[in-house]
Amino acid sequence: MSRIKSIEELEKLRETIIEKQKARKLSIAICNGPGCLPLGSRKITQAFIDEVKKQKLTDKGVEVRATGCHGFCAQGPLVVIEPQGLFYQGIKVEDAPEIISETIVNGNIIDRLLYTDPDSGEKIPLEKDIPFYKSQQRLISGNNRLIDPNSIEDYIAIGGYKAVSKVLSEITTEQVIEEVKLSGLRGRGGAGFPTGLKWKLCHDNPGDTKYIICNADEGDPGAFMDRATLEGNPHIVIEGMIIGAYAIGAHEGYIYVRNEYPIALKRAIRAIEQAEKYGLLGEDILNSGFNLSLHIVRGAGAFVCGEESALMSSIEGKVGEPSQRPPFPVQKGLWRKPTVINNVETWANIPHIINRGGKWFASMGTEKSKGTKIFSLVGKVNNTGLVEVPMGITLRSIVFDIGGGIPKGKKFKGVQIGGPSGGCIPEKLVDLPVDYESLTSAGAIMGSGGLIVMDENTCMVDIAKYFTNFLSEESCGKCYTCRKGLQRMHEILTDITEGNGKEGNVELLEELANVVKDTTLCGLGQTSPNPVLTTLRYFKNEYESHIKEKKCPAGVCKELITYSVDPEKCTGCMVCLRNCPADAVTGAKKQIHHIDPEKCIKCGSCYELCKFDAIKIE
Amino acid sequence: MELSGIQKIIEKNGTHRSALIPILLDIQDEYHFLSRDALACVAQTMDIALVDVYRAATFYKYFSLVPKGEHLIQVCLGTACHVRGAPGVLNEIQRKLHIKPRETTEDKLFTLETVNCLGACAMGPIIVMDEEYHGQMTVSKVDKLIESFKKHEGITKDEQDKKH
Amino acid sequence: MVKLIINGMEVQAEEGWTLLEAIRWVGFDVPTLCYHEGLTPYGACRLCVVEIGKEPRSKLVSSCTYPVEEGLIVRTHSKRVVNARKMIVELMLASSPQSKTVQDLASQLGVQQIRFKVEHEDCLLCGLCVRMCAEQMMAKAIDFAFRGGDRKITTPFDMKSEECRRCGACMYICPACQLRCDGPQAEQDICNACLQITPECLKTYDDVMCYLTTCGACLKQPETKQKETKNNKS
């Protein structure tokens, strides 16, 4: 492939690829996303490739495609057969021959591999009919299934780089910025700053050297949408960045990827190489006179580097310590030059906005929050996975309609949204619309979109302790109040969960949390007390049970619970006895067992193993 | 550790300040830890103060200043895994191996690490042993998993002895 | 020139000044710990926070690092600021009670309780020594290492540094190394001795005769003299 030298050539190439792809009669799209990979989807893909070869179907238009994330992680590994969109779940290597001979060759649907609706008990063959997908609006993530992320041609075939040719040929930098402003797009990385305005500020700053950066240092525990986007469709991010660079006048850019995401790294590197080869990056892109080169920077493992000033400091070869703003990155960013930094999901929205117009984009969502947002729906929820929904959808829709509710019929307690610096939103606010303003008023943040569902067995004091500990380890440690304040909050929370809580602890926590929020430099510090503040706001009674009654209502805090055997239910099956790592269970076959509280280390293995529900937590 | 190898890595990345972290990453990948000599060599070749190199090497979690054990156990402590019981799993591993996170057992067999999220939340709690994922972990599964590694190790050790 | 409003007063500041410089230039006092005129401001201790902007959108920023801006409204002693500073000093007292600087700050700001477990961590990680070593002594022998709760100031690998010339500048500038005065409550976690003092001069005059922020020099004198005489005897 030689460099594409003009827009006409790009269009011609697109036609050629589409023509060539018409030979593909059936595609087997196997999810190789973050959720399915550990379940062996790579081996499954290979099994399909081998089987297609074996049954001599390669020439007959059957294509096997390892794709990015399809979203429905709970049912993985997933296989979707195109063009019908037939959805198979829980696939194993052994299923490959049967799928090929039955479904591909004979056109029969294999019943046992279909998704069963838990409510009606009916089998649902097509992906689009499954409740999990029905309420979603998969603007960004929907394309993952259609392309091989390693193939720039696949991306071009679905309209890739059209937006780039549009901006480079037809519209001025000001018009691009206007369009993005019109769309109402706000940063998807956390704070929700209007993207168009950010670009405008950078554009208006004088200077020949400017930079653009893609923040792919997704560090929030329980969030993996940026990983899935970069792995599933790296070119859309690159395309977004080219448009952004053109708009602000940058000729050099960086994608900062977490080192913990080796596949995302590889894909991004490869996508840049391909784009360079095709002439979509480099000098004189599509004969427009516009130059842009992109580089990859590996993050070396520091949550705080997700903060923009820390990230830039890290690119410069220093430690990721946030710095004083102003000056803002759009004024003095990377190497003190005007810089626009946006996260993966933000960049991925840009080509859609250019292709279909800012007005179209603004038609989705609420008054102040436009477009869609990808959430990673995890925790105590049936349909774990990545979901993309229009802004303004209620939490109820996400957790119950899409998420399928709480497993094992347990009671829904709330969600933790926005990453470690987010907040816990209680069940009573389940009809809260999910947009920037509503979440902030409820004490949480949109963050990058981690959404952790919690049930009656989740202790909110423990959750607050967990996040406080996480943030205290991840704090860079510069601001005294962030470092020491978080340590002290953790200390108090530990006391409370260990039964050493005292009167006045709650008030002190609240006072300290507000000071930490007020007096720290960067976004990490300023939002770090949110888990404490929101749990105090909505779940104060749990704190009080820990402190006053020395009880953990959720049965989580080890020091406050005891395990015992329910004599009515115990069948004397010996399972707990044999598996107890501390030899704390006594008894004999078909006799009621007993747990010695002195020896018990409260690991919970008896509770999780008992089939008769005979272990009680008090 | 051969310093010529370090020199090669520096050559590849260049001596501009922004190359420091890529160089340290490459050294970590190649030698699995950052030795004192390696850091001194980097500081000297790049003309950066040794404290600056040391500061970067201790700031980022990916770097290790001591050699790691043969098997790397990573326990995911992401929020999804946490609410599903990862702390119990971690506790059990600590109890079993008598080491804390970021430590290596005395026999240099296991290094224990915690990670924040592996993006495989549907399988939580997860532990990764030498890059292989083990999902839906429970306290009772920990024992078997570690034993299986020890056993495997025992066999290979016998074989090594035979060879010598 | 940049015009801004500090505590309701219109102030002209030079472009490039920090808020702290402007505040001190007009004579207001803001407590600091990690700030030193001869060193690059770092903004670690957060004691110098001031409230900027109009409520309800106002926020606290560290005045030692925040640049002056045209039209900025600054309040150096709002309720929010004063309460925040008191909490910061309470945190410092609980972790470094042996430091005279911290004890003085506690008295100055009226911090009279410690609600956290007292520990003796000594180092406040203000970074004065790090900047002193790098900027004034041109040595770069010490720096921060690790992060979060593990953060500390050290030489590479905690070993004797080849760069260190044993000049002692780090110790000279350290606010935690300066030991407490032998006040009447020298062993207690909070001294607050200065707070107990009624200015001597008020016994004789209607006004306080000096304007030192922490009063008591005249009262302490006899005590110190007593000690000295004791020492001389022994």
| pLDDT tens profile B57-84 | 999 999 999 988 889 999 998 888 888 8
The whole-number average pLDDT for the span C45-72 is 96
Q: What is the pLDDT of residues A475-494, one digit of tens each?
A: 999 999 999 999 999 999 99
Residue A129 class from Cβ within 10 Å (0-12 exposed, 13-18 middle, 19+ buried)? middle
Q: What is the mean pLDDT of chain A?
A: 94
pLDDT tens-digit series, residues A404-417: 999 989 999 999 99
**Bridge-based pairing state of the strands A372-379 and A385-390:** antiparallel
pLDDT-above-90 percentage for chain A: 85
**Cβ-based contacts of B55 with chain C (< 8 Å):** 143-145
B26 pLDDT more than 80: yes
With a cut of 80, say whether residue C196 has pLDDT above it. no
Would you identify the CATH topology of the domain C2-77? Ubiquitin-like (UB roll) (3.10.20)
pLDDT of the residue at C214: 53
* A564-607 pLDDT tens trace: 999 999 999 999 998 888 889 999 989 999 999 999 988 888 88
Is there a shared CATH topology between the A7-135 domain and the A562-617 domain? no
Of A317, A470, A579, the CB nearest to B19: A317
DSSP C68: P
In the prediction, which pLDDT does B10 show?
A: 96
Lowest mean pLDDT among A43-52, A174-183, C187-196: C187-196
The neighbours of chain A, by the rule of 3 or more Cβ pairs under 8 Å, are: B, C
Encode A198-233: b = buried (16+ Cβ within 10 Å), e = exposed: bbbbbbebeeeebbbbbbbbbbbbbbbbbbbbbbbb
Structure tokens at A78: 């997933």
Q: What is the pLDDT of residue A2?
A: 79
Whether the predicted pLDDT of C230 surpasses 90? no
Q: What is the 3-state secondary structure (H, E, C) of A577-599?
A: HHHCCCCCEECCCCCCCEECCCC
Fold exhibited by the domain A159-362 = Rossmann fold (3.40.50)
3-state helix, strand, coil in chain C (%, to 5): 35, 15, 55
Strands in A270-347 per DSSP E: 293-299, 339-343
CATH fold label, A372-455: Ubiquitin-like (UB roll) (3.10.20)
Does B33 reach chain A within 8 Å, measured CB to CB?
no
Is some CB atom of chain C closer than 8 A to the CB atom of A251?
no
**B72 interfaces chain A, CB cutoff of 8 Å:** no
CATH 3.40.640.10 fits A562-617, yes or no: no
Give the residue, A360 or C209, on which the prediction is more confident.
Answer: A360
Q: Given CB atoms, is C79 within the 8 Å cutoff of chain A? A: no
What is the CA C62 to chain-centroid distance, rounded? 13
Q: Environment class of residue A446 by beta-carbon count within 10 Å: exposed (0-12), middle (13-18) or buried (19+)?
A: buried
pLDDT, residue B147, reads 86
User: pLDDT averaged over chain C?
Assistant: 88
Q: Give residue-wise pLDDT tens across range B11-25.
A: 999 999 999 999 999
How is residue C144 annotated by DSSP? E
Least confident residue range of A123-137, B116-130, C99-113:
B116-130
According to the model, what pLDDT value does residue B159 have?
A: 46
Q: CA of B41 to nearest chain C CA: how many angstroms apart?
A: 13
Note the pLDDT of residue C180: 81
Average pLDDT over residues A276-296: 96
Q: What is the pLDDT of residues A33-88, one digit of tens each?
A: 988 988 899 999 999 999 999 999 988 899 999 999 999 999 989 999 989 999 99
Whole-number Å distance between alpha carbons of C148 and A471: 8
Q: Residue B160's pLDDT is what?
A: 43
Q: Give A442's contacts (C-beta < 8 A, 6+ positions apart).
A: A423, A425, A429, A432, A534
Q: Which of C99, C56, C70 is nearest to C10 (CA)?
A: C70
Q: Is the pLDDT of residue A157 over 50?
A: yes
- Predicted confidence at residue B152, as pLDDT, reads 73
Q: What is the pLDDT of residues C60-75, one digit of tens each?
A: 999 999 999 999 999 9
Q: Which one of A319, A324, A473, A490 would you mutate to disrupt binding with C, by most C Cβ within 10 Å of its Cβ?
A: A324
**Distance in Å, alpha carbon of B54 to nearest chain C alpha carbon:** 6
Q: Which of A528, A551, A436, A422 is nearest to A479 (CA)?
A: A528
Residue A488: its pLDDT value, please?
Answer: 98
* Residue-level pLDDT at B60: 95
pLDDT at residue B158, as a whole number = 46
Res C220 pLDDT > 80: no
Sequence-distant (≥ 6) Cβ neighbours of residue C204 within 8 angstroms: none
Q: Using a CB-CB distance cutoff of 8 angstroms, which residues of chain A are in contact with residue C92?
A: 480, 484
* B50 in contact with A, Cβ within 8 Å: no
| Backbone Cα Rg of chain B | 19
Query: Is the Cα torsion angle A125, A126, A128, A132 positive or negative in sign?
Result: positive
CATH topology of domain A460-549: de novo design (two linked rop proteins) (1.20.1440)
* Backbone phi, psi, residue A361, to 5°: -60, -40
Compute the average pLDDT of residues C190-211: 75
- Supply the pLDDT for residue B85: 86
Q: Which residue carries 């599509």 as its tokens?
A: A286
In whole angstroms, give the CA distance from residue A95 to residue A259: 34
Q: State the pLDDT confidence band at B139, using cuts at 50, 70 and 90.
A: confident
**Domain limits of chain B?**
3-59, 71-163
Query: Which CATH code of 3.30.70.20, 3.90.79.10, 3.40.50.300, 3.40.50.720 fits the domain covering C128-173?
Result: 3.30.70.20
In a 13 Å sphere around the CA of A191, the CA atoms on its Cβ side amount to 14
Q: Where are the alpha helices (DSSP H) in B35-85?
A: 36-46, 50-59, 79-83
Domain boundaries, chain A: 7-135, 159-362, 372-455, 460-549, 562-617
Q: What pairing do the DSSP bridges indicate for beta strands A412-417 and A423-426? A: antiparallel
Assign a CATH topology to domain B71-163: Glutaredoxin (3.40.30)
How far is Cα A161 from Cα A240, in angstroms, rounded to an integer? Answer: 9
C156 touches chain B (CB under 8 A): yes
Q: Where are the domains of chain C?
A: 2-77, 128-173, 197-234
Residues of A in contact with C144 (CB under 8 A): 319, 477
pLDDT band at C195 (very low <50, low <70, confident <90, very high): confident
Q: Across the interface, which of C146, C157, C163 has its CB nearest the CB of B36?
A: C157
Report the distance separating Cα A354 and Cα A241, nearest Å.
12
C-alpha span between A548 and A542 (Å, rounded): 10
Burial tier of B36 (Cβ tally within 10 Å: 0-12, 13-18, 19+):
middle
**Nearest chain B residue to A471, by CA:** B116
Quick check: B93 contacting A, CB < 8 Å? no
Q: Which of C87, C124, C148 sits opposite A472 (nearest CB)?
A: C148
Residue C142: closest CA among chain B residues belongs to which residue?
B51
The structural architecture, per CATH, of the domain A7-135 is 3-Layer(aba) Sandwich (3.40)
Which residue on chain A is closest to B134 by alpha carbon? Answer: A38
Report the C-alpha dihedral over residues B110, B113, B117, B120, rounded to 10 degrees. Answer: 10
Are the beta carbons of B52 and B23 closer than 8 angstroms? no
Predicted confidence (pLDDT) per residue in A78-100, tens digit: 999 989 999 999 999 999 999 99
Least confident stretch, A8-17, A194-203, B112-121, C157-166: B112-121
Q: How does residue C33 score in pLDDT terms, banded at 50, 70 and 90?
A: very high
What residues does C10 pair with on adjacent strands? Answer: C5
pLDDT at residue C28 in the model:
94
